[in-house]
Amino acid sequence: EEKQEVSEIFKKMGMSGETLNACVNTITSNKETWLNFLLKSELGIEEPKKPLKGALLTFIFFLMGAFIPLFPYLVNLGLISLVISSVLSFSMLAIAGAFKTRITGESKLKGMSEMVLIGLIAFVFSYGVGIFLEQFIAGF
């Protein structure tokens, strides 16, 4: 069945006859080559060309997204710290959404909106849990 999938992919490329059979046999003779071929042609998945760079960028964006919104609390301005932190958090989510569109190919507005909406849902849920726990603990 998997060989048939490889054959269908090559047929769509215009191959037939002996050329088709030779290509299918060559690809399917090596399991790693076969798997990579199917991942690329069916799912569009490719091995990262620079995994260390990808890991480093992920770490940097994690630090930015996680720590920048905490800075207002170091000054301790009460409710203003929450507002500033929220604005910073949603700004970081929007930036992450914009970068995400480079991979997904969707519009920047859609990518940014999705990230901010998901962040807003997480924010409301987390804030609600915090209020609930505060009331729950105060009852003891």
State whether 13 and 74 are in the same domain.
Answer: no
**Distance between CA atoms of residues 82 and 95, nearest Å:** 20
Instruction: Tokens for 58, please give them.
Output: 């992920």
State whether 55 and 38 are in the same domain.
Answer: no
**Distance between CA atoms of residues 88 and 109, nearest Å:** 18
State whether 71 and 95 are in the same domain.
Answer: yes
Give the orientation angle of helix 17-28 with respect to helix 31-38, to 10 degrees: 110
Phi, psi of 45 (to 5 degrees): -95, 130
State whether 56 and 112 are in the same domain.
Answer: yes
Instruction: Tokens for 138, please give them.
Output: 């105060």
State whether 97 and 130 are in the same domain.
Answer: yes
State whether 23 and 88 are in the same domain.
Answer: no
Q: How many domains does the chain have?
A: 2
State whether 37 and 9 are in the same domain.
Answer: yes
pLDDT given at position 45 = 63
pLDDT given at position 121 = 95
pLDDT given at position 12 = 87
pLDDT given at position 125 = 95
State whether 126 and 71 are in the same domain.
Answer: yes
Mean pLDDT in runs of 10 for the chain (140 residues)?
82 88 89 82 68 78 81 88 90 89 86 92 93 89
State whether 63 and 132 are in the same domain.
Answer: yes
Q: What residue type is 39 in one-letter code? A: L
State whether 34 and 55 are in the same domain.
Answer: no
3-state secondary structure 10-54: HHHCCCCHHHHHHHHHHHHCCHHHHHHHHHHHHHCCCCCCCHHHH
- The parent domain of residue 108 ranges over 51-138
**Distance between CA atoms of residues 123 and 125, nearest Å:** 5
pLDDT given at position 76 = 82
Q: DSSP class of residue 68? A: G
State whether 101 and 57 are in the same domain.
Answer: yes
State whether 39 and 71 are in the same domain.
Answer: no
